[in-house]
Chain A
Amino acid sequence: MNAENFIAEPGLVESLRPVSISQQALHIIEQHGVEDYPYECCGFLFGAEGNVRVIQEAKPVLNKVTENRNRRFEISPKDYLAAELYAVKNDLTLLGVYHSHPDHPAVPSIHDFKQAVPFFSYIIISVSDNHVQSLRSWQLSDGYFVEEKINQ
């Protein structure tokens, strides 16, 4: 394990199934990150599970944090419930959450780790100077964050 000992080094943990992201979802995530810069944005990811985890839809949601919004995000429980309901109504699976790291790398922080739940994909985009620098996806596995391979 590396210095941030909640992130698994590649190859040390059994790899997860790859993730594919629709162009539409990708566009929404990147646009949201740029629009909300220098603050953190967040949203939900919906799609289907199979040999590949397919993220079909990204849905922006309010970052309810009022202070330190360039470093923190939080989603209200009511918005969470609404997302679960949306998944059921549209025959989708709630697959995870995306958020931005303004001026920071697309790597989970200790704050991300502390509140992470199993199963979810955590897509992080690094945004600087109003541009998306990188997009990476992570999932909790055996107590560590493991990077998910993104199929192009």
Chain B
Amino acid sequence: MAKLIIPTPLRKFTNDQALIYTESGSVLEALNSLAALFPELKEHLFDDQGSLRKFIRIYVGDQDIRELNNEKTAVGSTTVVSIIPAIAGGTE
């Protein structure tokens, strides 16, 4: 089982749970398994094409999956996967 850390703003979709254990395999499999458990969370993770949303970052351990093998990055039974909302903004 992979260990997924849910960011505070998305916990209302996971019944306030910060930690969710899902299937291991790849990052995509772990996230799909999470979305199957909590359907309301799905639209916050994936866009209409089924790709990861632009403003969501996924870290495996302390590495961005974009520096690894993206959604295909391997996730083992002791891997910690963090879902991170990109925080940014500014004026006009």
Give A contacts to B, CB under 8 Å.
40, 42, 65, 68, 71-75, 77-78, 80-81, 84, 87-88, 93-95, 97, 99, 101-102, 104, 108-112, 114-120, 122
Contact = CB atoms under 8 A, between A and B. Distances in A.
The 4 residue pairs across chains A and B that have the minimum distance between CB atoms: A112-B89, A72-B90, A74-B88, A117-B9
A62 B34 CA distance: 31
A101 to B, nearest CB: 5
- Most chain A C-beta atoms within 10 Å of own C-beta, residue among B11, B87, B92: B87
B1 interface: no
A94 B7 CA distance: 9
B82 A99 contact: no
B84 interface: yes
B59 A115 contact: no
Contacts of B86: 74, 77, 115
- Most chain B C-beta atoms within 10 Å of own C-beta, residue among A71, A117, A122: A117
Name B's interface SS.
mixed
Nearest to A117: B9
Contacts of A119: 8-12
A118 B92 contact: no
14 contacts: A42-B87, A72-B88, A72-B89, A74-B87, A74-B88, A77-B86, A81-B84, A84-B5, A87-B8, A104-B91, A108-B89, A115-B88, A119-B8, A119-B9
B42 interface: no
A114 B5 CA distance: 23
Contacts of B64: 77
Interface in B1-60: 5, 7-12, 18, 44, 55, 57, 59
A122 B89 CA distance: 11
Contacts of A101: 90-91
Given A65-B88, A71-B92, A114-B55, 12 more contacts: A73-B90, A81-B82, A84-B7, A93-B8, A110-B92, A111-B89, A111-B92, A112-B90, A115-B85, A115-B86, A117-B9, A117-B44
